[in-house]
Amino acid sequence: MKKKIIICILSCTALLAGCDRILDVKPRQSIDSRDALNNEAAIEAALNSVYAYLRQASQYGRDLVAIPELLADNAINTGNSGALVAEALNQPGAHINNWQSSYFAINEINNLFEALQALNASQEFKDRIGGQLYFLRALYYHNLMRIYAYDPTAIREDVNKGGVPVMRQAVRAAEQISLAAREPIHTVYEHIYHNLDSAILLLQNYSTNRAPHYATAGAAAALYTRVALYNGDYEKVLAEADNALSSGVGIFQPNSTYISAWRGAVHPESMFELVYLPTDNIGVNESLRATFTSRLTLTATTFTNRGNVVLSNELYELYKPEDVRRQLIMKGLGRNAALNEMYKFISKNGTANLDNVPVIRISEVYLNRAEAYARLDFPDEARADLNRIRTRAGLPAVDETLAGTPLINEILLQRRLELAFEGHRFFDMKRLGMDISKESGKVLFNEHRILARIPIREVQANPNLVQNDGY
């Protein structure tokens, strides 16, 4: 088993060097990162490698977007392919598995920080690269926490095994391997906070002209609102929402451009978005287009034998006829002709099965702030943010007496409708300790299926790593 760890670590080191297609390094497959990362061009290329991990199918290429809809009550699986059927049924062990790709990326980040420290470069360069690395490390860790650990707002203390291991040192060789244990949930959140604080500090004075495809201070503040919401730190949500909304990154879309915003290659609301080039095409088997729709393009008339993740009847019926968001939903083709498909991802980059993926949009920031205001008992402010989402959708403003639990419930409803098929629903239900009632049955919050299984190879190889309850 230790051999497997060594292979994993050495693969990570090789990837760090091998991803640098623009570098003149020898040999490309096995060069030590201390030799490869000795100039600015190498650092920039390796940074792109860290972003690239997010594009994998196990990350935002599919799983972080599609599986949270299936695990919850937003989607059903049509059975058009064998993909994600077990996840739709919430079978034990069928969950999101981003463990390996995330820790590969985190190790690359740690190596890059070491290289930056030794690099003879300007402080401006080091701050710009370092700020992005801090942002990315926070994103990777928060996603690991959402999948493998309980959220601070809803913990089953009787079976709580803690957060995830935190890799604090770069690993380049087998003798550097540390068999890390899971750290307490609050400790991992402190680490994520530190990374976001550092990202904002280092990026706040730099141009946003590479947004939304590269991290900015605005993107870090936006992500902070999500992290703080999961942490139940509502005052922090408010503070960072103000920073995010004033950053100039992401433009809130009116009703008139809401649909066209989803048809362009780059979503104008994106505060951080993953850009996909033709060389990054995941293809017909795993792309979001193929997963969510039976059409190859928006105007296609031929069934493509996919579209295996479609709207549940419950979700579809929640959209009012006048709701502009309902225009993103279409009946499928062929075997999906009677089913409702979500068309947020429909080969909009001009290449079949290729779509950029918004990781966080400005609409989410408003919803995060609305919920934080409501939970802090500021109903006027909460209604203002809620109504921004409702009226843009074409719905009337809520009654100005709405407050307390009914107000929070309406915010959560609009969150469900606005962020549907963007990978939020299961995580929202989990952080709220909610049971899941769906067409295939009921999943109680106190069941072990709520958390993912840590990969068996990791637990077998690391005696300090405790598996989640029930596996």
- The pLDDT value recorded for residue 236 is 98
Among 265, 334, 267, 335, CA closest to 301 = 334
Residue with tokens 């072990």: 448
300 pLDDT band (50/70/90 cuts)?
A: very high
Query: Comparing 8-17, 150-159, 327-336, which segment has the lowest mean pLDDT?
Result: 8-17
30 pLDDT band (50/70/90 cuts)?
A: very low
Which tokens sit at 246? 């004033």
Task: In whole angstroms, give the CA distance from residue 163 to residue 189.
Answer: 9
Which tokens sit at 237? 């949500």
35 pLDDT band (50/70/90 cuts)?
A: low
- The pLDDT value recorded for residue 1 is 40
Query: Comparing 32-36, 316-320, 325-329, 334-338, which segment has the lowest mean pLDDT?
Result: 32-36
Q: What are phi and psi of 103, to 5 degrees?
A: -75, -30
5 pLDDT band (50/70/90 cuts)?
A: very low
Q: Mean pLDDT in the chain?
A: 92
- The pLDDT value recorded for residue 428 is 98
Which tokens sit at 367? 């919803």
- The pLDDT value recorded for residue 178 is 85
* pLDDT(466) > 80: yes
Rounded mean pLDDT, 180-196: 98
Task: In whole angstroms, give the CA distance from residue 289 to residue 354.
Answer: 7
pLDDT tens figures, 376-402 = 999 999 999 999 999 999 999 999 999
Which tokens sit at 223? 């992500």
Which tokens sit at 153? 């707002």
Pick the CATH number of 2-259+359-461 from 3.40.1830.10, 1.10.3660.10, 1.10.3720.10, 1.25.40.390: 1.25.40.390
* pLDDT(16) > 80: no
pLDDT top residue among 133 and 27: 133
Among 65, 458, 87, CA closest to 292 = 65
Which tokens sit at 337? 């002709």
Q: Which residues, at least 6 apart from 112, have a Cβ–Cβ distance to it below 8 Å?
A: 37, 43, 46, 47, 50, 129, 133
Q: Which residues, at least 6 apart from 51, have a Cβ–Cβ distance to it below 8 Å?
A: 136, 214, 274
pLDDT tens figures, 425-445 = 999 999 999 999 998 999 999
* pLDDT(460) > 70: yes
Q: Please give the torsion angle defined by the CA atoms of residues 44, 50, 56 and 61, in that order, rounded to the nearest 10 degrees.
A: -80
* Conformational region of residue 300, where left means phi above 0, alpha means psi within -120 to 50, and beta covers everything else: beta
Rounded mean pLDDT, 31-48: 80
6 pLDDT band (50/70/90 cuts)?
A: very low
Which tokens sit at 325? 């968001």
Share of the chain above pLDDT 70, in %: 93
Share of the chain above pLDDT 90, in %: 88
This prediction has a pTM of: 0.93
Neighbouring CB atoms inside 10 A of 318's CB total 16
Which tokens sit at 418? 């606005």
* pLDDT(311) > 90: yes
36 pLDDT band (50/70/90 cuts)?
A: confident
Rounded mean pLDDT, 4-23: 37
